[in-house]
Amino acid sequence: MTHSLSRRLFGLAGMAGAVTVALPAYAQDDTAKAPDPADPESRERTYCYVGGYTQHGPPGGNGEGITVFEMDPKTGVLTNLMTFTDIASPSYIALSPDKRFLYAVSEINDFDTAHSGSVTAFSIDHATGALTKLNTVASGGADPAHLSVHPSGRYVMVANYTGGTVGVLHVLADGSLGRMTELLHNTGPRMPDRAADNPPGNFAISDHSSAHPHMVKADPTGKYVLVMDAGLDRVYVWTINLDTGKLTPAAVPFTTMTPGSAPRHFEFGSDGHKLYLLCEQDSKVVVADFDPQTGKIAPQQTVSSVTAHFRGSTLAAGILLSPDEHFLYVSNRLGDSLAVFQVAKDGGLTLVDEIWTHADYGRSLMFDPSGSYLYVANQRSDSITSFRVDKTTGKISFTWDFTPIGSPTCFEFLRVPAS
């Protein structure tokens, strides 16, 4: 299969392999100004990569692939540069530690005869932001929902939601994906579809029919690999052997969360001692201590991501720590809200604000590299909304900027020197 790029640009055509050139905004708009070479920000470019659901793959969507935007650091506005279309439902993407490569899951179940999804590796052209496909391999299970790159850059880890498996893929020297070094399938008792501590009036359910790994990522040291299993209501912890890519259960192999709570995503504090666990079904954040020596998780506090006034159905989705780790943010999909928590010195959380996303079904959250803007991928309303961040109070204010894009679910930002 060959790849295609759908671009908002002017083309130079007339021969095979014709070069296409995208004119910068100041060349298209007489009112815009060319970058000032004396301005440090003008010597950098910030790309934003956005993935989401295409027509191929559950639940189906309006996306076209992985879209590359350029961010204006002064306004936060995202300008569409191009879309890599030769990929089905890239619902989660991740950059390599050296920022040279990007990896994407395809949340599908028909990549091969084993009813697997897939993982694709790309190289990144820092001069243009363009992606070049390196290779695509099986994910080891159906409908992969998440992937991450180990801090060493040597392995890509993938969580196959419907397949119920966690896979580890070896990264080759050129950034492409090699053999699968580990494939694990956890089992456990059937858990309830709803949590007893749900928000009042919540009719939404989370699938607890079997194991459903929803996130896999290493701790900041790279010694441990954690998996949130939304079907078994467990957080698994393994050690990883960097020579073999094999996983071994930690001394305490898993921590059981509230039955029916559906643990979804997590965030680590930078020192690796504090862990924030987000459960989608009851829209709760569990604050835990993490022991970097043993991998043990010790829950300390549970807080709701909706106010006490809330009534109705909601499912929490994304969780994000501010760069200074003084604030934490959570998106609530059905409630269409963003929760803002203040983080105490001991890591405890206090809900200080809740704001409307101005869109429907907000999924992933991400800051731009400066931490000045917060972006939300709104799957059902086919848009990205952005918010200015008050770094002193943590509160956010809507920019009134909507970026249209079909069924977005995830982001990655990349800041590079301007060529």
Q: Model pTM?
A: 0.90
Distance CA 416, CA 70 (A): 11
Residues comprising the chain, all counted: 419
Structure tokens that stand for 44 in this block: 């950098």
What is the pLDDT, as a whole number, of residue 418? 87
pLDDT tens column, 25-34: 333 333 334 4
pLDDT tens column, 161-210: 999 999 999 999 999 999 999 999 999 999 999 999 999 999 999 999 99
What is the pLDDT, as a whole number, of residue 87? 98
Distance CA 336, CA 173 (A): 42
User: What percent of the chain is predicted at pLDDT more than 70?
Assistant: 90
Residue 3 has pLDDT above 70, yes or no: no
pLDDT tens column, 143-158: 999 999 999 999 999 9
Distance CA 219, CA 229 (A): 16
The most distant pair of C-alpha atoms in the chain lies apart, rounded to whole Å, by 65
Residues 73 and 35 sit within 8 Å (Cβ to Cβ): no
Residues 63 and 57 sit within 8 Å (Cβ to Cβ): no
What is the pLDDT, as a whole number, of residue 220? 96
For residues 89-109, average pLDDT: 98
Cis peptide before 59 (omega within 30 of 0): yes
Q: What is the CATH number of domain 43-310?
A: 2.130.10.10
Reported confidence tier of residue 38, pLDDT bands at 50, 70, 90 = low
Distance CA 221, CA 233 (A): 25
**Per-chain mean pLDDT for the chain:** 91
Residue 5 has pLDDT above 70, yes or no: no
What is the pLDDT, as a whole number, of residue 235? 98
Minimum mean pLDDT range among 198-202, 230-234, 242-246: 198-202
For residues 74-96, average pLDDT: 98
Residue 102 has pLDDT above 70, yes or no: yes
For residues 221-229, average pLDDT: 98
Q: Where are the domains of the chain?
A: 43-310
What is the pLDDT, as a whole number, of residue 18? 29
Reported confidence tier of residue 137, pLDDT bands at 50, 70, 90 = very high
For residues 223-229, average pLDDT: 98
Q: Which residue matches tokens 């997590």? A: 266
Residue 100 has pLDDT above 70, yes or no: yes
Contacts of 393 (CB under 8 A, 6+ apart): 352
Q: Are strands 263-268 and 5-7 parallel, antiparallel or unpaired?
A: unpaired
Distance CA 221, CA 152 (A): 10
What is the pLDDT, as a whole number, of residue 7? 28
Q: Which regions of 191-282 does DSSP assign to beta strands (E)?
A: 213-218, 224-229, 234-240, 247-256, 263-268, 274-279
Evaluated on CA atoms 357, 360, 366, 367, the torsion sign reads: negative
Reported confidence tier of residue 84, pLDDT bands at 50, 70, 90 = very high
Question: Virtual CA dihedral for 90, 143, 206, 354, nearest 10 degrees?
Answer: -10
Cis peptide before 292 (omega within 30 of 0): no
pLDDT tens column, 275-316: 999 999 999 999 999 999 999 999 999 999 999 999 999 999
Reported confidence tier of residue 82, pLDDT bands at 50, 70, 90 = very high
pLDDT tens column, 39-73: 555 689 999 999 999 999 888 899 999 999 999 99
What is the pLDDT, as a whole number, of residue 41? 54
